[in-house]
Each structure stands twice: as structure tokens, then as C-alpha cells.
Homo-oligomer: A and B are copies of this chain.
Amino acid sequence: MGKLPDEKIELLLTTPGTAIGSSRFPLEQEQYEAMVSVLKKHHIKYVLFNGGNGSMDTCGKVSRACQGEDIFVVGIPKTMDNDISIIDHAPGFPSAAKYIATVTKEVGADVKSLPIHVCVIEAMGRNAGWITASSALARKNPGDAPHLIYLPERNFNEEEFLADVKKLYEELGGVVVVVSEGLRNEKGESIVPPIFKTDRAVYYGDVSAYLAELVIKKLGIKARSEKPGLCGRASMALQSEVDRKEAILVGREAVKAAIEGKTGVMVGIRRTSGEAYQIETPLIPIEEVMLHERIMPEEYINERGNDITEHFVQWCRPLIDGDLPEMVSFKDEAEHQLRSRI
């Protein structure tokens, strides 16, 4: 492939997915070894891996296979799921967080103007609740959406969910609930019963549709579901600026590291202490990253398991470029004016 003009390279900043393509093809040990001879044959000295836990695992295995050769292998973290361990957060996540916070605020305004139903928004992240939790950044004033947040880190309890929804519906009229696509019950099974099976896999319905149905059936309250799905990981308009800058930075640092002869490392993101948000990008031995999947720590989840804590909000806020745009409700303004006259 020839050299691309700068204006094409610039388009990477506003192109969702990956311009280099991707695959889901699992590699065997012989293939790792075969790769070394292919790289040598073509005089390829630098190999960069861009992705999440799966890609970093592959990155580690390739770097092992290349040991002793004149080949340098470096990982560049990128996963909206934010489940790479050791680092403060992974590039991609801040934009996914900004997306879910923004749409939750917007849907909250929509539901508030016609408060007749319960609206269940489904967020991506099957095993880790980072994205789902970020919806909390939509809140500014008491009563703002999201009113309930359910993460995959906690077993989902239908009775408690229904009780919480009922209480909030009676209070507010319109209720916005944000749930992870991977909610499981106390047995560790999907809360949605399987709808059918093929030779290869079991298929479940959508968590959001299932819960909306449950609200209608058990509480007799109108309910609907929204599942932005891929729209949430592909949105350019709601890209976080912090995220974009950091993604460029870790890519650049990875190239630098490889050229300087580093190998078997991933570029990390570490938040420096101090009041203003700032990061540094240490190189982390890839072996350390390969071992763990990172889920939401207990201190970020409230006791009842239907919300996050202020700790999480403080950690997440700087990643989405600060406050979201303001909105207005004449009902709120009227109430505010009434209160201020008393």
C-alpha cells in the first residue's frame, strides 16, 4: 500500500471503527511461530497492536515469539469497554462515556416533556459496567435522569428493580433506567431467557426490551426500550476531545517506543496526582496487562446495586470534557420561580 495523502490520514479522526480493518480469527501456537518468519522475510521490524484485552493477549504472544529477533512489538490500548487492567482508562472509553451520558440527558429531557412511561436504555459492555455507569454524568439537578443504573458487576434482582421503578414512577411520572447489555441473575445466567439455539451458540433477547416488557406486565406501567448499540461506539459528534488527544498520544508513544527498541510493552495511561486532570504514558510490560480483565471496583457502585457512587463521577467527569450542554424545562422554571417567591 502506497503513501496516503495527509488529508486522508486526517480523516482517521472522524472515522468510526478501524480504517486498518479487524478480525475475530483466533491464532494457534504454530501460527505465532510462522508469523516470525513472515515478518523476517519482509524485513518488518516493528509490529504495533491496537485493541483491547484480546489484542493485548495476541500482542504478548507475538512479542514472545519474536524474542531474540530484530523485531519490536508494542501494544496501543483501545477499547470502549475499558476493561484493560493497570491503566487509568483505555482510549475509546471516554467517547463511549460521553455518548451514553449525552443520550441519557437527551432522552431524559424527552421523557420529562411527556412523562408517561418508563424508558430503559441499554448500554454496551457485557462484563464490565464502565459505559453503563457513565450515564450518571447526565445528572445535574435532583430528579435528573438516569434514575436507576444497573451494572453487570452485581447480580440483578427483579423484585428490587420493580419496586424501585414503581416508587420512582409514582414520584416522577417518567423514569429513565440505564442497564448493561450483560445483566445476569444470582445464578450467573443472563436475565433474559434464551430465545433459541443454533449449533454454535445460544441466543438471548435484548436486556432492555426484556425489562420494558417486565414493567408493562408486572406493574401495568407503559414502558419502552432504546438500544443504540453500535451507534454508541461509532458516534463522531459525541467524541470526547480528551479521548481523541489521548488516542493520538498513545499511538505516537508506541511508535517512538518501538523505534527506540522497546518490545513486549503496552503504552499505558496513568493519571497524575494533582487537582487538574493530567496523564502520563508509562510503558507497561505486556505480561502484566495480559493477566486481568478490569471491572468496576466496589467503591464505584452503591450498596443497593441500582446506582453508582460520587467517587465514580469524580473519576469519570474529566474524561468527557466537563459539563454537558444545558437544557431548559418551563415546568422546572415555573416551580423554581414559585419556590423563590415563598
Q: Is the CB of A229 within 8 A of B236?
A: no
Q: Is the CB of A227 within 8 A of B230?
A: no
Interface string of A219-247 (1 = CB under 8 A from B): 01000111111110111111000000000
A180 to chain B, nearest CB (A): 16
**What 6 additional pairs, Cβ within 8 angstroms, besides A18-B113, A110-B230, A226-B231?**
A16-B107, A21-B331, A24-B114, A24-B116, A107-B234, A198-B220
Q: For A237, give its contact among B2, B102, B330 (CB under 8 Å).
A: B102
Q: For A238, give its contact among B9, B12, B213, B237 (CB under 8 Å).
A: B237
Across the interface, which residues of B come within 8 angstroms of A113, CB to CB? 16-22
What residue in chain B is nearest A176 (Cβ atoms)?
Answer: B230
Tell whether A334 pairs with B1 under 8 Å between CB atoms, given A114-B23, A119-B230, A213-B203: yes
Across the interface, which residues of B come within 8 angstroms of A334, CB to CB? 1
Across the interface, which residues of B come within 8 angstroms of A196, CB to CB? 213, 217
Assembly CA distance A226 to B206 (angstroms): 10
Q: Is the CB of A15 within 8 A of B328?
A: yes
Query: Taking beta carbons and an 8 Å cutoff, which residues of A are in contact with B?
Result: 1-2, 4, 8-9, 11-12, 14-24, 102-103, 106-107, 109-114, 116, 119, 121, 195-196, 198, 203, 205-206, 209, 213, 216-217, 220, 224-231, 233-238, 325-331, 333-334, 337
A312 to chain B, nearest CB (A): 23
Tell whether A16 pairs with B226 under 8 Å between CB atoms, given A213-B196, A333-B1: no
A-B CB contact pairs (8 Å), 27 listed: A1-B334, A1-B337, A2-B337, A8-B333, A11-B326, A11-B328, A14-B325, A15-B109, A16-B106, A16-B110, A17-B111, A20-B113, A23-B114, A103-B235, A106-B231, A106-B235, A107-B230, A110-B233, A196-B213, A198-B217, A203-B216, A205-B205, A206-B209, A224-B230, A226-B229, A226-B231, A237-B237
Assembly CA distance A2 to B337 (angstroms): 8
Q: Is the CB of B234 within 8 A of A109?
A: yes
Assembly CA distance A331 to B209 (angstroms): 37
Across the interface, which residues of B come within 8 angstroms of A198, CB to CB? 216-217, 220
Q: Is the CB of B106 within 8 A of A234?
A: yes
Assembly CA distance A18 to B206 (angstroms): 29
